[in-house]
Structure 1
Amino acid sequence: MASQVAENLLFSQFSSKGFEVISDILSSLFTISKTELTELYTRLNDDFDNDHPSPIFVDRAFFTSMDEGFRAIYAQSPVIAVDLPSILELDNGDINKPTVVILGQDPKNDHDFENIIVGTPYALHSKECRIKHTKRYFEMVFVLLSLGYRVYLTDIFKVWVCDPTSPYSRCKLPRIDQERFFRILELEFQAVKPVALITWGNEAANSLSAVNIEVPHLRFLHPGRAANGAWKRLIGKSPTDANKLEYWRTRIFESLSGLGAIES
């Protein structure tokens, strides 16, 4: 269903003013210019309909921890991943769609790379991922798109550092860096002005205790299979992707009614 209408989607088509703000925000966190950031988004856009995209890399100097002790761990990490925020919306001529934010915890990768691998939350810039690896996420996002929303996807912690002593487990970022990401997240919310914020899973939801939120926060179980036990208890039947999607479609309609476009 959702995969058949990908040609009617716009991926990260920020307005000029919107991209100016987002690029300023990201440039305050990462070592990157607006021109270089534009090039990264151009490559991600090029991958949207590409069956076999090439990985995108940036130098490890792209991010510098504020914690001197953590820099040694960072240097030794077998893989570091970065997710850049993205936007999905239907290409229907409506430029005034209300925005819903889907907030993830952080990126992850389980392959060794010398440089940082760059992607987007749930790898939705990748056609291969949308129809295979992260299909369940894309189908849930598509429900929001079909209801008339623009969906802004971002992570709380946009850098994931693999623990050098335990591949491929996450190495927790030092508090000083976490606080930087919290401040960035608040700036993102101010920039995109969402009508609601959705989190998938407890990690993302609980991390928001340190972030100022002025819109409804909708907590959902994580769509991944690791949460299947909780899903089965919640929906009372087999936690297949189809059953999760059915529950999501019903609950999201109920939760967002009265918060802007509901076109379905």
Structure 2
Amino acid sequence: MTAEPLGPVVVGVDGSCSALQAVDLAAEEAAARLTPLVVVHVETGPGDSQEVLDIAAARALAEHPGLAVSTTAVVGDPARALLARSSDAYLLVLGHRRDARFPALPAGPVTTRVVHEARCPVMVHRPVDPQRALPSPRPVLVGVDDYPRAEPGIAFAFEQAALRGASVIALHVRAWRTPEAAEMLHEAVSAWAGKYPDVPVQLSVQYGQLAVPALAEASMDAQLVVVGSSRHGGTGPFARGLVTHAMVDLAGCPVAAVPLP
């Protein structure tokens, strides 16, 4: 059976340092999957889109010379234009905000809207603390909420870990101790662990914690944190937009928001 071809990796750029860091991340993702990279700049007024696009494309090709890179300029609302691309993209990649010198400030409105409304996974670049001693390779962290609704995020985390030669840490958080928590987490992860037997897995259930601080702390030692994102809410903490939004602002590594059913 022939594998279904992946859609492209799409990265939004605006000329900022944060966007260029997103280009680096997007180019790595596209090269790892042998899929094209599409660089998009949305004009909201007079400006030189071509220069912004050329700089971004040259940066991607400098690190990945064989990568298929195309550029496109669109006029209009940036969030709406990027959301339209999410219909046929494998992955959207964005910077956290225009000014990368202040990563602790909240994400910009375009990033926030796209993360919560995109039809494909959205990866947001977040800087890693260069002073922190980290294991190598760092793990991929995934927040697991109610199963089976969390399955798309778990699948994405295992795929990422396999590509990166990393392990997976599956984290489930509950305010109080319940006997079924560990069983649920094991059931949620076991099928994907079987599909990726070469990916080491660590299960972590934390009681007496809130989702945001637990995930934020664990992300400091990860290379990627995967959370669910849904426009329709959800019964568990990881499915709610509040946690996804917080991780985009607080994580100690890039964040992948995966649409949930």
TM-score, length of structure 2 as denominator length: 0.33
Q: Higher helix proportion, which one?
A: 1
Q: TM-score, normalised by structure 1?
A: 0.33
Higher relative contact order (CA 8 A, sep 6+): 1
Structure (1 or 2) with the greater strand fraction: 2
